[in-house]
Amino acid sequence: MARISVILVSICVICLIPSASATSQVPGGELRCAWVTRWGFSSPGDISAVFDELHAAGINTVFFQVRGACSVLYPSSIEPWSGVLAGKFGVDPGWDPLDTAVVEARKRGLAIHAWINVFPAWPVSKAPKGPGKSEPRHAMLEHPEWLARSKKGEAMPLDISVAKHSYAFLSPTAPGVKRHIMSVVMEITESYEIDGLHLDYVRFPDSTYSYDDASTTAYRKYAPYAPRGMTYALWRMSQLTEFVGEISKAVKRVRPGAVISATVRRDPMEGKDYFLQDGLEWVREGYVDLLVPMIYTSDIGLFEKSVREYALLAGEDKVIAGIGAYLDTFDDITLAGQVQTARAYGLRGIAIFNSDYVKAYSDLLKTIAAGEPEEQATQKAQ
């Protein structure tokens, strides 16, 4: 009985929210995106099949992951191959996933955005070994001084039993790190006809990092000339903001029409205070075209609160709502309600995490893409 009540309430909420046709449309139309992770394919045929599913479900934009933890999924002269395809780190799988993705996206009229994890260096594990030998050599081995460090000067650990994070990070404020990441960004931008660049993990692991020598030295040189109140935390945050701007300008010099987007925390104040990630400033400065807050919840009230906050603070046409379709508590009613909420607030669109779950909701997503009246969408969600 309780579950029936919840469903009835959800249906009522959805019916009260205007459909896309009843609200002003953002410039350029609605973006219906999906993240394709580096574990979401293992062959060219897999990419073709995934893109078929996405296209059939009405997805029009793909965030295709090509960089995980300082290793990549395309032939690079700067970073080694990820091991997810060949089964061994640094080994060429014999094909180019990003080139395949660009070709397959064009066949279906999909926009293709290269998705990179910006600062993760290596995942933590129960038996931490770090990256092995490779050509090119992994950044963490070539430059161990680049790792983010605590106030005590300790590098982020790789042992999951003591680590607070899923990855050890490179320092976002180390000049060498920024030059390295920029070179990767430009290698992708200049080599592939991408429609956009999607920045993930573009933040500090938390505000207690990074106290690496290069960063603290740079701050000490700057401090005598700094405005009043420019703390080390504010300096690190401003440095990250400037770096996002540098990436954006560099990409758009090569591809003026490229869309720059970034995942951000569900709570913008948490992002700013805890992760030194000032996504709202990135929008205000024009450094990113779109913010993608990761609103991964099945709670419609919490989802609506985050959507409302970002729409108000960033501008609704600058926001895509990240939807956590992978959650155990997720269902058709939840998806329908979240999409209609995003539309009611005039957001630029939605992004499904991740493509593995698009097939499960394909019929509903097709209804949403077709712009059918909300009553029909609700019927299909039951």
Q: Specify the pLDDT at position 373.
A: 37
Q: Residue 304 belongs to a domain with what CATH number?
A: 3.20.20.80
Q: Specify the pLDDT at position 128.
A: 86
- Would 150 be classed as within a structural domain? no
Domains held by the chain: number: 1
| pLDDT one-digit tens code per residue, 42-79 | 999 999 999 999 999 999 999 999 999 999 999 999 99
Q: Specify the pLDDT at position 371.
A: 81
- Would 131 be classed as within a structural domain? no
- List the one residue out of 274, 271, 301 whose CA is nearest residue 283: 271
Query: What pTM was computed for the model?
Result: 0.91
Q: What is the mean pLDDT of residues 196-222?
A: 98
- Would 161 be classed as within a structural domain? no
- List the one residue out of 232, 300, 289, 298 whose CA is nearest residue 262: 289
Angle at CA of residue 245, ends 237 and 315, nearest 5°: 85
Listed in sequence order, the DSSP H helices in the chain are 2-16, 44-56, 97-108, 139-142, 175-191, 213-222, 232-254, 268-275, 279-284, 300-310, 332-344, 362-370, 374-381
Q: Specify the pLDDT at position 219.
A: 97
- Would 192 be classed as within a structural domain? yes
Q: Specify the pLDDT at position 220.
A: 96
Q: Specify the pLDDT at position 28.
A: 67
- Would 155 be classed as within a structural domain? no
Whether residue 15 has pLDDT greater than 60: no
- Would 133 be classed as within a structural domain? no
- Would 309 be classed as within a structural domain? yes
* Structural domain that includes position 297: 27-120+177-381
Q: Work out whether strand 167-169 and strand 120-123 pair parallel, antiparallel, or are unpaired.
A: antiparallel
What type of residue is 374?
E
Average pLDDT of the chain? 91
- Would 316 be classed as within a structural domain? yes
Question: 264, 277 in Cβ contact below 8 A?
Answer: yes
In order, the DSSP letters of 68-85 are SSS-BSS--SSSPBPSTT
